[in-house]
A and B are shown apart, each in its own frame.
Chain A
Amino acid sequence: MRLRLWIILGVGIALSLALGYLVLLMGCDLGVDIKCFEVAQVEGVVWSTCDYYGNITIEPGLPINWAPINWAGNFKCVAAGRVGNRTYAVFIRSVYFGEPDQSPFQSELTSRCYSLRHGRVIVTVPAVAWSGVAVLVVDVDKGVGYLGLAVGIRNITEIKTWHDLYLSYSDVAFGDGGVYIANRHIWAQRQVAGEKLVGCFYVVKTRVDRDKLILGRPVNRTAGNLLVVKFSP
């Protein structure tokens, strides 16, 4: 009789622990499709600066720790151009990357998922916010977008301003293969506090108001080892 009681108690505790673990695990797996791209020797056309005056919506939403919109702003157009009858655009938006591990996701979620992933009950971190961006590459007409994340890592020998640190129009080219990007350190993570998959992007439905997008003009051809972001035909 007593043994049965102990078994029931043990099973109850085990189930409670499993349930607690599942609750803590909630939100850690992002469940968003990811697509990875290769770096290749390509040649494309650089377009001059662009502007965008509309809103951008992405689906599904991601628990990203966006920098405050009142000073950092929303998505800004970096480069936009046409290849045949297709219009592509690249936007960036400021993100705060917190500790641990320069995570772009909300801090409570990051700490919880990090604890579970690394088996650490208490996580001590500096209260810092690394500056970085989300890079959104969009096939404007089809409403397909690829969203990646990057912390500043361009070679700048003379510091004047850090605004163009992540991506400027001259880092982007357009060609038959799609959109070519000079920054190779863009990544995506399947799980919060998970492995950073370099060269990978989240696949998101993206609504861009074409009438509010002002394209630049082709300025020069460029060639090099660039990240090739391909869209389906």
Chain B
Amino acid sequence: MAWRWLVFGGVVVLVTVSLVLSVSAGGGGLNNADGIPRAALNYAGNHTTLWGRIAALSHFDVLKTTEPLTCSDGAANFTCLLSKTDVKPVVAALRGIGVELEVERLNDTWVLVLHYNYTAGQWQWLNYTTQGAWELKWNNQTARIYQTKIRKALGEVLKVKDKIIKKYLSEELKGITMVGVVRDRVIIGTLNGTKGKVDEEAVRKIREKIREVDSEIEAEVVYVIPEPARGRSDEFNPLVGGVQIVPSWTTDVGTYNTTCTLGFVGSWGNTPVLTTAWHCIAWTFTVKTQGSAYIYQPVDNLVSNRLAATCSYVWESDSKLIVTCDIIPMRLLTQYDPKVFRPDVGVAYGQVIRKYCKYDVTKNTLLAKAGVTTDVTKGYIKSYNVDVTYSNQKWGSKTFTVVVKYLVSTTIYVEGGDSGSPVFTYEGAPDRLGAYAIVSGRARWFGFFYESYVQNLCDLPFIFDPTR
């Protein structure tokens, strides 16, 4: 009989222990000894920097600081957090998650905070008067806490943001495209505007609705059209360089097409033109290759059906064409922007700010191209003047050899489909570009990449401006 009681007792103990374990394992809402929610502890613990851990605790409203900010004392920049409280709760909470700090009180009575003014669209320094300043040190990291008047701490402003989103989801707030948090305020993105500026009436209405959510919160309203990440094969309107095109042309026996890359878009006087490689339309528009050509972007939308000009050329014989450049400028039917799509990794667009002729770019200047097959590749000029022979070129029933004059050879890697790609320099920043050339072709040595050939924009028989 006794053994039955023993088994019963064992089962009770087991159930109790497993219940306690399961509650403590899954209990996101449970607190530790210092009253910090477990979710906040885990979240803060996953951060590796001192300021990251403080902000992570403020995210859960455990502390009353802002997000980490770029600050200055007038002499040097450093990372700081503005706080509604003094340093004591910060030190206590960090000790609660196993961070033992060194704390030094500072005599600073003010601090400058770098702020992006969304309405003005520019960075500016804001001056805050402080009631206390402390420097915290941990694991060779330093962060400063400034006690000052802020409207909302990070956790508080995040709660306001969630309420706004809820109101937006219930359709009380319309036309909102983005709700963000910056420092102690919310940023509201809206489509209600024109030419990048928000309508005054829309700003008034949005602020009114947000005051209903929280009367203290400060809101900046900006014009924002969110876009998913784009690829070179997407449709672009306005048209920009570095994206996929399908050139199509008619011949004596039928219609053909290729996949190429759109070069630079710009103007010839007042005529808007696009540029790509001439061979992308198989040298159409000479006296022996008369047909029509059409450029689609990416595959369906007609963006050009009219020639602007051809490079100079001569038919040396019925089977040999000599051209002074491998660029075809076509008149544009659509809106354009003198930019290049994804000119570097992580950069959405690059503005073309200048044009370089052939010898303007030295052999130690980094060049890059943006093409549909091999994306962004970079290299240097090998030779300024190379005449290249492309044999077995086909236009309808004709087969001929083409000699392209005055190409520049480079170490930039290219593949089939990259023809027409814009080749450019970076002008101090990856989104400011100097237009240099259009990709023409490549050479392989027993299958191995040897060099590529690009055509400088100044080889065109007219002045093409890729900046406007």
A residues near B, CB below 8 A? 24, 65, 67-68, 70-71, 96, 98-102, 107-109, 111-113, 115-116, 121-131, 151-156, 159, 161-163, 165
Which A residues are in CB contact (< 8 Å) with B416? Answer: 65, 96, 98-99, 107, 127-129
- A-B contact list, 27 entries, CB within 8 Å: A70-B233, A96-B417, A99-B390, A101-B392, A108-B444, A111-B447, A115-B445, A122-B443, A123-B443, A125-B441, A126-B279, A127-B417, A127-B439, A127-B442, A128-B277, A128-B280, A128-B441, A129-B417, A130-B258, A131-B256, A131-B259, A151-B256, A153-B253, A154-B254, A155-B254, A156-B255, A162-B246
Which residues of B in the span 244-299 have a Cβ within 8 Å of any Cβ on A?
Answer: 244, 246, 248, 250, 253-260, 277, 279-280, 292, 294, 296, 298-299
Q: Which residue of A lies closest to B374 (CB)?
A: A127
Contact status A130-B444, CB under 8 Å: no
Complex CA distance for A96 and B300, rounded to whole angstroms: 17
Which B residues are in CB contact (< 8 Å) with A154? Answer: 254-255
Contact status A100-B256, CB under 8 Å: no
CB A150 to nearest CB in B, in angstroms, measures 11
- Known contacts A101-B392, A125-B442, A127-B419; can you find 5 more A-B pairs with CB under 8 A? A124-B442, A125-B443, A126-B419, A129-B419, A154-B255
Which B residues are in CB contact (< 8 Å) with A153? Answer: 253-256
Q: A71-B299, A96-B417, A154-B254 are in contact. Are A128 and B446 (CB under 8 A)?
A: no
Which B residues are in CB contact (< 8 Å) with A112? Answer: 444, 446-447
Is B459 interfacial (CB 8 A cutoff)?
no
Which A residues are in CB contact (< 8 Å) with B447? Answer: 24, 108-109, 111-113, 115
Instruction: Pick the contact of B446: A107, A121, A124, A165 (CB < 8 A).
Output: A121
Ordered nearest first, which 8 A-B pairs have the shortest CB separation?
A112-B447, A98-B416, A111-B444, A129-B417, A129-B416, A126-B279, A126-B441, A127-B419
Complex CA distance for A123 and B260, rounded to whole angstroms: 20
Contact status A159-B450, CB under 8 Å: no
Complex CA distance for A91 and B254, rounded to whole angstroms: 22
Q: Which residue of B lies closest to A152 (CB)?
A: B256
Which B residues are in CB contact (< 8 Å) with A165? Answer: 255, 257
Is B326 interfacial (CB 8 A cutoff)?
yes
Q: A123-B444, A124-B442, A126-B419 are in contact. Are A96 and B259 (CB under 8 A)?
A: yes
Interface string of B397-431 (1 = CB under 8 A from A): 00000000000000000111111000000000000
Complex CA distance for A115 and B443, rounded to whole angstroms: 11
Which A residues are in CB contact (< 8 Å) with B414? Answer: 127
Which B residues are in CB contact (< 8 Å) with A99? Answer: 390, 392, 416, 441
Contact status B258-A162, CB under 8 Å: no
Which B residues are in CB contact (< 8 Å) with A124? Answer: 388-390, 441-443, 453
Complex CA distance for A112 and B448, rounded to whole angstroms: 8
Instruction: Pick the contact of A24: B260, B393, B446 (CB < 8 A).
Output: B446
Number of interface residues of B (CB under 8 A): 51
Which A residues are in CB contact (< 8 Å) with B58? Answer: none
Which A residues are in CB contact (< 8 Å) with B444? Answer: 107-108, 111-112, 115, 122-123, 125
Which A residues are in CB contact (< 8 Å) with B16? Answer: none
Which A residues are in CB contact (< 8 Å) with B255? Answer: 152-156, 159, 162, 165
Contact status A71-B392, CB under 8 Å: no
Q: Which residue of A lies closest to B441 (CB)?
A: A126
CB A112 to nearest CB in B, in angstroms, measures 3
B residues near A, CB below 8 A? 231, 233, 244, 246, 248, 250, 253-260, 277, 279-280, 292, 294, 296, 298-300, 326, 373, 388-394, 414-419, 439-448, 450, 452-453
B interface SS class: strand
Q: A67-B259, A112-B446, A115-B446 are in contact. Are A127 and B441 (CB under 8 A)?
A: yes
Contact status A126-B390, CB under 8 Å: yes
Contact status A130-B256, CB under 8 Å: yes
Complex CA distance for A216 and B439, rounded to whole angstroms: 45
CB A74 to nearest CB in B, in angstroms, measures 16
Q: Which residue of A lies closest to B300 (CB)?
A: A161
Q: Which residue of B lies closest to A108 (CB)?
A: B447
Which B residues are in CB contact (< 8 Å) with A108? Answer: 444, 447-448
Complex CA distance for A155 and B250, rounded to whole angstroms: 9
Which B residues are in CB contact (< 8 Å) with A71? Answer: 233, 244, 298-299
Contact status B326-A126, CB under 8 Å: yes
Which A residues are in CB contact (< 8 Å) with B453? Answer: 124
CB B370 to nearest CB in A, in angstroms, measures 13
Complex CA distance for A156 and B251, rounded to whole angstroms: 10
Complex CA distance for A67 and B260, rounded to whole angstroms: 12
Q: Which residue of A lies closest to B444 (CB)?
A: A111
CB A64 to nearest CB in B, in angstroms, measures 13
Which A residues are in CB contact (< 8 Å) with B292? Answer: 159
Contact status B445-A121, CB under 8 Å: yes
Which A residues are in CB contact (< 8 Å) with B253? Answer: 153, 155
Contact status A107-B415, CB under 8 Å: yes
Contact status B392-A128, CB under 8 Å: no
Q: A100-B392, A152-B254, A156-B254 are in contact. Are A122 and B450 (CB under 8 A)?
A: yes
Which A residues are in CB contact (< 8 Å) with B389? Answer: 124
Which B residues are in CB contact (< 8 Å) with A127? Answer: 277, 414-419, 439-442, 452
Contact status B443-A131, CB under 8 Å: no
Which B residues are in CB contact (< 8 Å) with A70? Answer: 231, 233
CB A99 to nearest CB in B, in angstroms, measures 7
Which B residues are in CB contact (< 8 Å) with A65? Answer: 416
Which B residues are in CB contact (< 8 Å) with A131? Answer: 246, 256-259
Complex CA distance for A100 and B417, rounded to whole angstroms: 13
Contact status B279-A128, CB under 8 Å: yes
Contact status B277-A126, CB under 8 Å: yes
CB A123 to nearest CB in B, in angstroms, measures 5
Q: Which residue of B lies closest to A154 (CB)?
A: B254
Contact status B442-A128, CB under 8 Å: no
Contact status B373-A129, CB under 8 Å: yes
Q: A24-B446, A111-B444, A112-B446 are in contact. Are A128 and B419 (CB under 8 A)?
A: yes
Complex CA distance for A24 and B442, rounded to whole angstroms: 20
Q: Which residue of A lies closest to B417 (CB)?
A: A129
CB A170 to nearest CB in B, in angstroms, measures 16
